[in-house]
Amino acid sequence: MGEPTTTKRQLLRAGAALAAAAIFSSAARAADGGAAGASAIDSSPLDARLLPGFRVEKVPTSGATLHSVIGGSGPPLLLIHGAPLTHLSWFRVAPELAKRFTVVAPDLRGYGDSSKPEDGENHINYSKRTMARDKIELMKHFGFDRFAVVGHDRGGRVAHRLALDHPQAVSRMAVIDIVPTHYLYTHVTRAFVDAYFHWFLYIRPAPFPERILNGDVEGNFGRGAPPELREEYLRVYRNPANVHGMCEDYRASAGIDMQFDEADLDRKIACPLHVLWARDGAMGRMYDVLGIWKERGTTVTGAAMPGGHNFQETHPQETLAQLLPFLS
């Protein structure tokens, strides 16, 4: 998720202070009750307008149904979005990528118009391991056993787990504007908490963060989105099930995902990895992004990018200039 707006910072600062200590205790308790299914109206009309030539499919996996688009021709390429976004966050780069690749872009479980499974014990149904399995099954549905993957924000964390759990399936991987989750949660600084305070808020037990977010949907979602997507993101997050699904993603990251990551600290990403980060963003200011990822992969390259956290939306040509040579 990108850097918070000033209004959001003011709204949530009080909750952040209480939540920061929770990362060092047990993971947030199971959320109250199950979330409802996806919205009655989905993004299909906007998919047709912003992603011409792509088709929409609702793809069942072992534990979810993923709203997905597929388009183009050539080697398979999986695009995984971040928070609080959807697959449409790729709309300014996906059509160009589809000229060289068969592009698949789903909504993560719990997001957009994908289904919202029950939380599961210790939030297992929103763990990156479970989300990675979704992606394996999604790509198999389209006939692909091996593919390249690009993940932004939360999607990069899913891609990381995908490369560790299913190395035979991932040919190349790019991550956008993240540092590994385990590193962040084991190197907590004042600067990190200040820039990413929502990480500590969203892991609190339901319905505490959900109530805050649902209380001001227009103030909390879509403010920095491209004009084509603002109303879409508001539509998505007016559904409380999407707010809950997003929080479950964060709760899993702070708990069960940390257990999985700790067990795999000696394992490295085997495929070529290309790391892109916002030069003037929080990650770029606070961390040696490329250096940290070089500790997690065997063949790692990278570049600082213009723009903020969602530079695939704001600087699509520069993003394509990095992705196309690497993926090809």
Average pLDDT, the chain: 90
Domain that holds residue 60: 6-327
- Catalytic annotation present for 187: no
- Catalytic annotation present for 87: no
Domain count, the chain: 1
136 contacts 162 by C-beta, under 8 angstroms: yes
Cβ within 8 Å of residue 90, ≥6 positions away = 79, 81, 105, 312
Q: Report yes or no on 162 lying in a domain.
A: yes
139 contacts 106 by C-beta, under 8 angstroms: no
pLDDT at 16 > cutoff 60: no
157 contacts 81 by C-beta, under 8 angstroms: no
304 contacts 280 by C-beta, under 8 angstroms: no
DSSP annotation of 269 reads: B
Parallel, antiparallel, or unpaired for β 76-80 and 147-152?
parallel
Q: State phi, psi for 297 to the nearest 5 degrees.
A: -135, 165
**How far, in Å, are 75, 108, 187, 323 from residue 101 at the CA level?**
5, 21, 38, 12
pLDDT tens, residue by residue, 221-269: 998 999 999 999 999 999 999 999 999 999 999 999 999 999 999 999 9
| Domain of residue 107, CATH code | 3.40.50.1820
Catalytic one of 153, 177, 249, 257: 153
149 contacts 80 by C-beta, under 8 angstroms: yes
Nearest alpha-carbon partner for 8 in 163, 198, 154, 171: 198
Q: Report yes or no on 238 lying in a domain.
A: yes
Q: Report yes or no on 17 lying in a domain.
A: yes
The secondary structure element, H or E, covering residue 302 is strand 300-305
Catalytic one of 87, 152, 274, 309: 309
Q: Report yes or no on 58 lying in a domain.
A: yes
Q: State phi, psi for 176 to the nearest 5 degrees.
A: -120, 115
Q: Which two tokens stand for residue 160?
A: 């990381």
Angle between the N-to-C axes of helices 240-254 and 230-237, in degrees from 0 to 180, rounded to the nearest 10: 80
244 contacts 271 by C-beta, under 8 angstroms: no
80 contacts 209 by C-beta, under 8 angstroms: no
Q: Report yes or no on 1 lying in a domain.
A: no
Q: Which two tokens stand for residue 120?
A: 């599961």
Q: Report yes or no on 151 lying in a domain.
A: yes
Give pTM, 2 decimals. Answer: 0.89
Q: Looking at 24-28, 62-66, 106-110, 208-212, which range is the least confident one?
A: 24-28
Cβ within 8 Å of residue 194, ≥6 positions away = none
The secondary structure element, H or E, covering residue 118 is none
pLDDT tens, residue by residue, 24-78: 333 333 333 333 333 447 999 999 999 999 999 999 999 999 999 999 999 999 9
Q: Report yes or no on 156 lying in a domain.
A: yes
The length of the chain in residues reads 328
C-alpha angle 257-260-266 in degrees, rounded to nearest 5: 130
Residue type, 73: S
pLDDT tens, residue by residue, 294-321: 999 999 999 999 999 999 999 999 999 9
Cβ within 8 Å of residue 88, ≥6 positions away = 43, 46, 47, 50, 51, 81, 112, 229, 232
Percent of the chain with pLDDT over 70: 88
